[in-house]
Amino acid sequence: MPDSDDKGPGRLTKVLLWLGALLTAVVTAWLTDAFGLLLRPADLLDSGRPPILVTVLHGAGGEQGLAVAALPTAPPDRAAFLSGRFGDRAFGDVVAKLGGARVGRTIARVIFESQRDLVRVTDVRVKETAPEQPVVTAAFVEHPRQGGTDNPQLTVSLDAPNPYFTRVGAPGRPFFGPHSLPLKRGEQTELGLGIDARAHSHTFVLEVEYVEAGSGKQRTLTVKDPDGRPFRVTGAPAAATGYGTVYRNTGAGLRAVTGRAACELLNPERACTSAR
């Protein structure tokens, strides 16, 4: 409170200034408390983050071989291609330039992580980004044999007129709709998705539909492969003779094979003759 000895206009000015400062302090304290009730520190951090993170793991895709629509001609591309190193970025870049696609099935291992108190994934679907094309046949490249399995939990056939993901062992019943994936803050769920094709080749992305429990907002997120490219999968020709070249992956590089060796590589469960 201002000194009581002050008189006249000067005293009145001091009183008004003191009252103004007091009112400002009271209002600031009230707003701070109210704002703190409505917005927690976690909410301030969340304001710059997406509600959900979706990560596609490198090295997935399954152990299916791949087919390319052309063979490399430039020496650096040819060297990277013939290395047969599926996990290397250089090999992947060259295969992408050659129109490469996994044969029969590609597997995407996807990790979903919530950055909100509760997020519910309500659908994952395939969205083709280009018209379907004939199967890719310029060359087949064997995946290096690793002896492991990469079994997905959900699969979808792109040959179906209305493709949707189903649980393995329960064909014909869509997984999403009856089921969803609820995720609490910081919780992660990994899902293996198998995308199959037999009759054509397909270029696609995944669309993830989710709902924030707090706001009820429904959003859609587009997911590409680990290198930021659309996924690719192709059917196979009816016989080994449908490929221009067949490459065995020796672990030390690719080696072209023909005749019975090519047939056995592509059809390990069939009896092959010496004719190609």
The secondary structure of 194-209 as a DSSP string is EEE-SSSEEEEEEEEE
Which residues, other chains included, contact 272 with Cβ-Cβ below 8 Å and sequence gap of 6+? 260, 263, 264
Structure tokens at 92: 């992947």
65, 91, 55, 102: which is closest to 202 by C-alpha? 102
Q: What is the pLDDT of residue 276?
A: 46
Q: What pLDDT, in 10s, does the model give residues 35-61?
A: 444 445 544 445 567 899 999 987 665
Tell me, what's the pLDDT at 250?
92
- Look at residue 48 in the predicted model and tell me its pLDDT: 64
- The residue ranges of DSSP E strands in 12-129, in sequence order, are 52-56, 66-68, 101-103, 105-114, 118-128
Spell out the per-residue pLDDT of the chain, length 276, in tens.
555 455 555 666 665 666 666 666 654 555 444 444 444 554 444 556 789 999 998 766 566 799 999 999 999 999 999 999 988 899 999 999 999 999 999 999 999 999 988 999 999 999 999 999 999 999 999 988 765 556 899 999 999 999 999 998 877 889 998 899 999 999 999 999 999 999 999 999 999 999 998 788 899 999 999 999 999 999 999 887 899 999 999 989 999 999 989 988 888 777 777 554
pTM of the model: 0.79
* pLDDT on residue 3: 52
What pLDDT shows up at residue 37?
A: 43
Separation between Cα atoms, residue 128 and residue 122, nearest integer Å:
20
- The secondary element (H helix, E strand) that includes residue 245 is strand 245-249
| H-helix segments, 156-233 | none
Q: Angle at the Cα of 176 (from 173 to 180), degrees rounded to 5?
A: 135
Cβ-defined contacts of 170-177 (< 8 Å, 24+): 176/122, 176/123, 176/124, 176/125, 177/123
Angle between helices 75-83 and 89-97 (to 10 degrees): 120
CA pair distance 264, 271, nearest whole angstrom: 8
**Are the CB atoms for 224 and 55 separated by under 8 Å?**
no
The C-alpha atoms of residue 250 and residue 255 are separated, in whole angstroms, by 7
Place of tokens 């976690």: 42
Instruction: Give residue 45's pLDDT.
Output: 45
